[in-house]
């Protein structure tokens, strides 16, 4: 790689021409929304009434799927897909890689006369058999065992994915082993949803709701991402292979002015956003909000709430769509949590709520929260759950990439706490003291401009430093990383809520059986929760130096790294929790633990090898060339009898020596043979390899600031972040 390629990239970006418009500008969004989804509306038109009612019962009321309807659904789904131009079908599943997997099969079957006909049976719809030997499994199977099964998830609709060379019918599925153990992220979402619903219905029954509908978890994940021009991306081996820059001096102008945040969206980016949203709309993904984020080159999209299972599938599809559309616009979409050092990283804030079509959201307090006992019980369950199982929530978002973000003053700290807001905190404070008698009311903001309307003032502010914050009708879990599936956090949230709601229902049932008045029983339960678990509530600055000290005094865990967090998955308490609610057995929990450690070691090892390669073959030669030029100038001046200033030479020689030493130490660290114990291997990676990488980067980034620009080969931050 030479400086010429870097200059060529800059020229190419400046010469960029937008792709031609691929759709009618007058097209109404409502015309295309869900057009490529085998939705309930599509089913109702094509299925016999009894078959449609059976499928609807499974989707809307979680009734067992009648196996006799599979053939009718498969036939209708096939005809619909063929009309959409599909030539193949694929069972889409979500293995423990965190990515999406799919196996494509043609609809066409040959017949004896040399022709072919399209076929798709109920058996094929319901079950597939992809090779499972090469997916992460954490010891759930032997490497020579290849059999794995995919199973149709009726709750998540099938869709047609378009491609210029042919369309594909995609069927969301679970992915399990021969023994029925989960090899994926979808299966535990469905299990945990079922467990949470059973306990939530017990609570609702106690509040007088006869035969309540199943309660579902709702999820609204906000997605942050970066965009850079493809020419810069292809000139950075670290971005290609690791998704983040392993080298790069901070630019003269970063995000200090906050001028990018909610600024006017660049024309090229807006074209990408509109193109992306159109594709999402066709797939029934309710993208709602788009805007510039804090860092230059960073943006955000937010969908509306959906059932957690469907939201999780849609999140995976959203990331795939973003990457594909970005390439069409000559850009690369980066989902790494920290692709650029020194500017804000990217998260995926998971907005979480519970409810059903009968009662709406169960986390809506109403006008006076102290009068809404049902809301307070569900909110109290959240407080108990997060306090008891904060370590599991932290483990659910643990990854090598998210470690760069959590704990920095741009994201929630690694300490899991809850922010309730002034109004709700005041109500629970009154409960702890013997009973709530009033609540803070909403006010009206006086703006002081006669022509503007009055604005409603919320009774509490937001706290962006809180990892788990109540925002009026939901809780926002701010710790998940941009590149992560939301399935992991949702499994933990559902399961710990199942335990907390089980506790609440049992306490109320026991009190009522003993003759206690219902209101007194609720008061007693809420008092017990806030007294025992109120320590998890924190309204202060999570970025402050004092908070970790105070959190330790409160007994809250500070799991700063993935290596610290993952052991939370296999504590006796965690194993008992997931086994009790039949979400994971012990083998499945240990598999998640081992896969997490394995992914951590592999991710950092790839980055370490890249650091060694780029440092040795790109940065070191550039620095040596510049040092040689300076030394030649000094020698020439001395030969001419002129006193030479060697200061510039020293400016290069010192960090160059540090770079050489750092590369040598990093090479030795990479060559170190790891112990068989995965935790010890991950600990060595964290404590030795990452430290050696940081030393190499520090020396290289210093050299970037002193080496002649025409000798520096890698595109710089000020180019990648600002030239788009």
Strands (E) located in 390-434: 418-419
How many CA atoms, within 13 angstroms, populate the side-chain half-sphere of residue 476? 22
- The H or E element spanning position 593 is helix 586-614
Is the pLDDT at 298 greater than 60? The verdict is: yes
What burial letters (b/e) apply to 583-593, b meaning 16+ CB within 10 Å? Answer: bbbeebbbbbb
Distance CA 120, CA 226 (A): 41
110-124, 280-294, 628-642: range with highest mean pLDDT: 280-294
More confident: 15 or 207: 207
For 90, phi then psi, to 5°, come to: -145, 130
Mean pLDDT, to the nearest integer, of 88-93?
94
Distance CA 320, CA 283 (A): 12
Residue 247 corresponds to which tokens in the numbers above? 């080298």
For 293, phi then psi, to 5°, come to: -95, -170
Residue 117's pLDDT is what? 82
Are 265 and 292 in contact, with CB atoms under 8 Å apart? yes
Q: Do strands 86-93 and 167-177 pair parallel, antiparallel, or not at all (unpaired)?
A: parallel
Residues 6+ apart with CB under 8 A from 407: 413, 414, 560
Distance CA 150, CA 244 (A): 33
Are 40 and 58 in contact, with CB atoms under 8 Å apart? no
Is the pLDDT at 107 greater than 80? The verdict is: yes
- The closest alpha carbon to 480, from 352, 297, 633, belongs to 352
Distance CA 514, CA 499 (A): 23
Distance CA 665, CA 395 (A): 31
Q: What percent of the chain shows pLDDT beyond 70?
A: 92
Distance CA 250, CA 105 (A): 48
More confident: 712 or 115: 712
More confident: 85 or 165: 85
Is the pLDDT at 21 greater than 70? The verdict is: no
Distance CA 387, CA 418 (A): 9
Residue 449's pLDDT is what? 45
- Write down the residue that tokens 């500008």 correspond to: 25
**CA separation (Å) from 463 to 293, 426, 456, 556?**
17, 16, 19, 19
- The closest alpha carbon to 615, from 700, 721, 550, belongs to 700
Model pLDDT for residues 453-511, shown as the tens digit of each residue: 555 556 556 777 899 999 888 999 999 999 999 999 999 999 999 999 999 999 999 99
SS3 673: coil
Confidence of residue 587 (pLDDT cuts 50, 70, 90): very high
**Can you spell out the DSSP letters for 269-307?**
HHHHHHHHHHHHHHTT--EEEEEE-SSTTEEEEEEPPEE
Confidence of residue 447 (pLDDT cuts 50, 70, 90): very low
Residues 6+ apart with CB under 8 A from 548: 413, 415, 558
Residue 680's pLDDT is what? 95
Model pLDDT for residues 341-392, shown as the tens digit of each residue: 999 999 999 999 999 988 889 998 766 554 588 989 999 999 999 999 999 9
Residue 412's pLDDT is what? 80
Residue 91's pLDDT is what? 95
- The closest alpha carbon to 86, from 153, 38, 31, belongs to 38
Residue 348's pLDDT is what? 93
Cα 16 from chain centre: 31
How many CA atoms, within 13 angstroms, populate the side-chain half-sphere of residue 69? 20
- Give the CA dihedral 467, 472, 473, 477, nearest 10 degrees: -10
Residue 370's pLDDT is what? 47
Residue 451's pLDDT is what? 44
Residue 461's pLDDT is what? 63
- The closest alpha carbon to 717, from 249, 266, 337, belongs to 249
Distance CA 186, CA 193 (A): 11
What burial letters (b/e) apply to 11-26, b meaning 16+ CB within 10 Å? Answer: eebeeeeeeeeeeeee
Residue 528's pLDDT is what? 95
Are 39 and 157 in contact, with CB atoms under 8 Å apart? yes
Distance CA 258, CA 245 (A): 22
The angle formed by the CA atoms of residues 652, 657 and 661, to the nearest 5 degrees, is 150
Residues 6+ apart with CB under 8 A from 124: 74, 89, 105
Domains of the chain, earliest start first: 33-184 (3.10.20.70), 192-598 (3.30.590.10), 599-722 (1.20.120.1560)
Residue 136's pLDDT is what? 81
Residue 595's pLDDT is what? 95
Residue 609 corresponds to which tokens in the numbers above? 């090898």
Is the pLDDT at 439 greater than 70? The verdict is: no
Model pLDDT for residues 658-685, shown as the tens digit of each residue: 999 999 999 999 999 877 899 999 999 9
Residue 286 corresponds to which tokens in the numbers above? 């309710």
- Write down the residue that tokens 């060529």 correspond to: 8
Mean pLDDT, to the nearest integer, of 29-46?
91
Q: Do strands 108-110 and 298-303 pair parallel, antiparallel, or not at all (unpaired)?
A: unpaired
Confidence of residue 68 (pLDDT cuts 50, 70, 90): confident
Residue 171 corresponds to which tokens in the numbers above? 């069927």
Gyration radius from the chain CA atoms: 28
More confident: 395 or 68: 395
Residue 2's pLDDT is what? 59
Mean pLDDT, to the nearest integer, of 222-243?
96
Q: Of 405-414, 458-467, 653-662, which range is least confident? A: 458-467
Residue 445's pLDDT is what? 43
Residue 654's pLDDT is what? 95
Confidence of residue 440 (pLDDT cuts 50, 70, 90): low
- The closest alpha carbon to 314, from 347, 282, 292, 270, belongs to 282
Residue 231's pLDDT is what? 93
Model pLDDT for residues 521-562, shown as the tens digit of each residue: 999 999 999 999 999 999 999 999 999 999 999 999 999 999
Distance CA 703, CA 249 (A): 9
Mean pLDDT for all residues in the chain: 89
- The closest alpha carbon to 247, from 649, 584, 650, 702, belongs to 702
Are 248 and 704 in contact, with CB atoms under 8 Å apart? yes
Residue 6's pLDDT is what? 77
Both ends of the chain: CA-CA distance in Å?
Answer: 22
Are 111 and 162 in contact, with CB atoms under 8 Å apart? no
Length of the chain: 724
For 477, phi then psi, to 5°, come to: -90, 105
Are 666 and 620 in contact, with CB atoms under 8 Å apart? no
Helices (H) and strands (E) in the chain, counts: 25, 20
Residues 6+ apart with CB under 8 A from 45: none
Q: What is the 3-state secondary structure (H, E, C) of 175-214?
A: EEECCCCECECHHHHHHHHHHHHHHHHHHHHHCCCCCCCC
- The closest alpha carbon to 308, from 193, 195, 173, 393, belongs to 193
Distance CA 481, CA 722 (A): 24
- The closest alpha carbon to 177, from 114, 233, 131, belongs to 131
Helix, strand, coil distribution of the chain in percent, nearest 5: 50, 15, 35
Distance CA 450, CA 507 (A): 54
Residue 450's pLDDT is what? 53
DSSP-derived secondary structure letter, 403: G
SS3 528: helix
């Amino acid at each position: 790689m030479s400086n010429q390629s870097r200059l060529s990239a800059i020229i190419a970006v400046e010469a960029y021409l937008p792709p031609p418009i691929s759709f009618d500008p007058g097209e109404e969004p409502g015309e295309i929304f869900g057009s490529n989804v085998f939705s309930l509306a599509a089913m109702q038109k094509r299925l016999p009434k009894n078959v449609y009612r059976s499928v609807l019962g499974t989707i809307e009321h979680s009734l067992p799927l009648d196996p006799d309807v599979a053939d009718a659904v498969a036939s209708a789904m096939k005809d619909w897909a063929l009309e959409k131009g599909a030539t193949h079908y694929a069972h889409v599943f979500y293995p423990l890689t965190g990515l999406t997997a799919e196996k494509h099969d043609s609809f066409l079957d040959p017949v004896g006369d040399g022709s072919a006909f399209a076929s798709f049976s109920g058996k094929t719809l319901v079950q597939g058999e992809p090779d499972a030997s090469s997916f992460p499994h954490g010891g759930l199977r032997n490497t020579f065992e290849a059999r794995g099964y995919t199973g149709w998830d009726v709750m998540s609709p099938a869709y047609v994915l378009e491609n210029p060379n042919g369309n594909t019918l995609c069927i969301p599925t679970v992915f399990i082993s021969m023994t029925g153990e989960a090899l994926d992220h979808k299966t535990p979402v469905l299990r945990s949803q079922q467990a949470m619903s059973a306990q939530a219905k017990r609570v609702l029954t106690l509040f007088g709701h006869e035969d309540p509908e199943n309660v579902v978890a709702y999820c609204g994940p906000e997605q942050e991402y970066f965009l850079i021009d493809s020419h810069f991306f292809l000139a950075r081996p670290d971005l290609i292979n690791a998704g983040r820059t392993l080298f790069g001096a901070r630019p003269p102008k970063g995000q200090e002015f906050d001028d990018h945040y909610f600024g006017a969206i660049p024309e090229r980016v807006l074209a990408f956003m509109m193109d992306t949203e159109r594709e999402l709309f066709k797939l029934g993904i309710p993208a709602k909000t788009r805007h510039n984020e804090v860092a230059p080159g960073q943006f955000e999209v937010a969908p509306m709430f959906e059932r957690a299972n469907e939201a999780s599938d849609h999140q995976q599809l959203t990331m795939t769509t973003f990457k594909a559309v970005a390439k069409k616009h000559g850009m690369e979409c980066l989902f790494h949590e920290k692709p650029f050092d020194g500017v804000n990283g990217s998260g995926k804030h998971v907005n979480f709520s519970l409810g059903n079509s009968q009662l709406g959201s169960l986390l809506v307090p109403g006008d006076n929260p102290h009068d809404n006992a049902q809301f307070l019980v569900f909110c109290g369950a959240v407080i108990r759950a997060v306090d008891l199982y904060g370590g599991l929530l932290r483990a659910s978002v643990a990854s090598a990439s998210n470690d760069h973000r959590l704990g920095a003053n741009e994201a929630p700290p690694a300490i899991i706490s809850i922010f309730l807001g002034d109004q709700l905190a005041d109500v629970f404070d009154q409960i702890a003291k013997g009973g709530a008698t009033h609540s803070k009311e909403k006010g009206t903001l006086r703006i002081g401009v006669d022509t503007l309307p009055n604005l409603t003032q919320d009774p509490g502010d937001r706290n962006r430093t809180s990892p788990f914050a109540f925002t009026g009708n939901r809780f926002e879990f701010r710790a998940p990383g941009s590149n992560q599936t939301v399935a992991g956090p949702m499994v933990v949230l559902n399961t710990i809520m199942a335990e907390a709601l089980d506790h609440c229902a049992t306490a109320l049932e026991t009190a009522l059986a003993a003759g206690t008045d219902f209101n007194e029983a609720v008061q007693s339960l809420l008092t017990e929760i806030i007294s025992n678990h109120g320590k998890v509530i924190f309204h202060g600055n999570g970025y402050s130096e004092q908070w970790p000290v105070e959190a330790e005094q409160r007994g809250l865990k500070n799991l700063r790294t993935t290596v610290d967090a993952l052991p939370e998955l296999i504590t006796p308490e965690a194993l008992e929790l997931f086994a009790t609610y039949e979400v994971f057995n012990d083998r499945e929990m240990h598999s998640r633990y081992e896969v997490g450690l394995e992914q951590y070691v592999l991710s950092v090892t790839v980055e370490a090898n890249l650091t060694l390669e780029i440092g040795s073959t790109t940065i070191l030669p550039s620095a040596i060339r510049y040092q040689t030029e300076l030394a030649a100038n000094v020698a020439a001046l001395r030969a001419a009898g002129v006193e030479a200033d060697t200061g510039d030479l020293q400016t290069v020689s010192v960090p160059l020596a540090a770079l050489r030493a750092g590369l040598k130490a990093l090479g030795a660290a990479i060559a170190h043979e790891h112990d068989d114990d995965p935790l010890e291997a991950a600990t060595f990676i964290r404590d030795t390899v990452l430290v050696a990488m940081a030393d190499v980067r520090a020396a290289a980034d210093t050299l970037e600031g002193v080496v002649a620009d025409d000798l520096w080969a890698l595109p710089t931050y000020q180019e990648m972040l600002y030239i788009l």
